[in-house]
Amino acid sequence: MLTDQERKEILRLLHREVVPAIGCTEPMAVALCVARATELLGSLPSRIQLRLSANILKNAMGVGIPGTGGMIGLPIAVAMGAIGGKSCLGLEVLRDCTPEDLAAAKRYIQENRITITLEEDDPDKLFIHATVTADDGRQQEATIKGSHTNFIEKGCSGGSENSALSEHSDHPEDPDHSLSLRSVFLFATTQPLEDLRFILEAKRLNEAAAADGLRENYGHQLGKTMCSPLGRGIMGDSIFAKVLSETSCACDARMAGAKIPVMSNSGSGNQGICATMPVVVFARENHNTEEELIRALTLSHLTAIYIKQSLGTLSALCGCVVASTGSSCGITYLMGGSYEQIAHSVKNMIANLTGMICDGAKPSCALKLTTGVGTAVMSAMLAIQHRYVTSAEGIIEDDVDRSIHNLTSIGSRGMDVTDRFVLDIMTHKK
């Protein structure tokens, strides 16, 4: 059983990692860092210099930036962050930007005021350092490290001491509660319902994103294609088809830069979509109760958080592997599954999707989410019948938590060379 203190820590962790975000979280984190440095400077900088980790660069190169009319990449995110960004909004930093801000940002880019370089010294996979310079030579700095909103220092060229932590910190002084799949299951299924009701905001936000993705022509329009006569003719009108199409619609909108908030998970909007929409659609089509939906969403999101604890905020492993494993747990629960069957679904997921690389955030992420979600449904279907991949096969062990750590070890350490190779390919295209 969980102690009262453990329950408080898990609930705090859930509130911290499941938050709204507008746009892809990597360029938004860069915009956030620039906005904070600009606020410290007190005026629009004449120059902006950025040092970014490889994983930040990789995830910000090809994704649409909200409020820019379809522009992609870091320069416009940086300029918008300096001109109209508000650091108090966190990952919704560009929420209040205006068309006038966009016009000014385009001019700022044309004037070649932004320099972006690869951070060579800091080993953290999530590292952003912004130096902004005023016309009179004054400078201010801001650094985000470890997680997307964790400011670790702020300083100025006048020699004042850096503060250890800004008001936007993710509270790294509070160590994460060490989770296991059983503690995740116990919390999700026994915590007082009123403590968990906030998770329905994930349903509201991500359903709205899916509706926007269906209404407009975003990205590769994968979700709309699956809802078209062609898609219906091939996929039918099954629960499975609806799970895939609605999840893809939300991802289509987000990756194309729609200026709408989604509920993120562990610093990723796509992971939030993937942990939410399959569970929401299945619950609706399966006529589950509201309580069952709330507990299934909690189980899904908290499973994703648990996996990310050992994988790291950014890695070479595609985040849909993490989030779709969570949604498979949630769907298995909605099918009436026990803890044992939920553990089976996790093993089925790990056996199938391990090794799917992350080659940056971009519109085609909708394809990867659909692959992950499709596997989630199939894994749940097998698990509910007590069919699962055994320890005689691949990296699966009898202990489900060891299986999870095998997955995260591959993603965090085993694929490091792959990660660097992917970035090299992305930055040397002809």
Burial (CB count within 10 angstroms: exposed 0-12, middle 13-18, buried 19+), residue 292: middle
Cβ-based neighbours of 192, under 8 Å, separated by 6 or more = none
Q: Are strands 47-52 and 139-145 parallel, antiparallel or unpaired?
A: unpaired
The pLDDT tens digits for 321-348 are 899 999 999 999 999 999 999 999 999 9
DSSP state of 72: B
- Contact of 268 with 319, CB cutoff 8 Å: yes
Does 318 have pLDDT greater than 70?
Answer: yes
pLDDT (tens digit per residue) in 102-159: 999 999 999 999 999 999 999 999 999 999 999 999 999 999 999 999 999 654 443 3
- Helix (H) or strand (E) holding 78, with range, is helix 74-84
Ramachandran class of 249: left when φ > 0, alpha when ψ lies in -120 to 50, beta otherwise? alpha
Distance of CA 21 to the CA centre of its chain: 9
Contact (Cβ atoms closer than 8 angstroms) between residue 343 and residue 325: no
pLDDT in tens, 179-227: 999 999 999 999 999 999 999 999 999 999 999 999 999 999 999 999 9
Distance, C-alpha 89 to centroid of its chain: 17
What whole-number distance in Å separates Cα of residue 278 and Cα of residue 271?
12
Has residue 49 got a pLDDT over 50? yes
Question: Which of 131, 81, 71 is CA-nearest to residue 101?
Answer: 81
DSSP, res 265: B
| Range list of β-strands (E), 139-197 | 139-145, 151-156
Set out the domains of the chain in order of their start, with CATH numbers: 24-156 (3.30.1330), 181-427 (1.10.4100)
Buried b (16+ CB within 10 A) or exposed e, 112-142: ebbebeebeeeebbbbbbbbbbbeeebbbbb
The closest alpha carbon to 247, from 218, 272, 228, 265, belongs to 272
Q: Cβ distance 370 to 319 under 8 Å?
A: no
pLDDT surpassing 70 at residue 310: yes
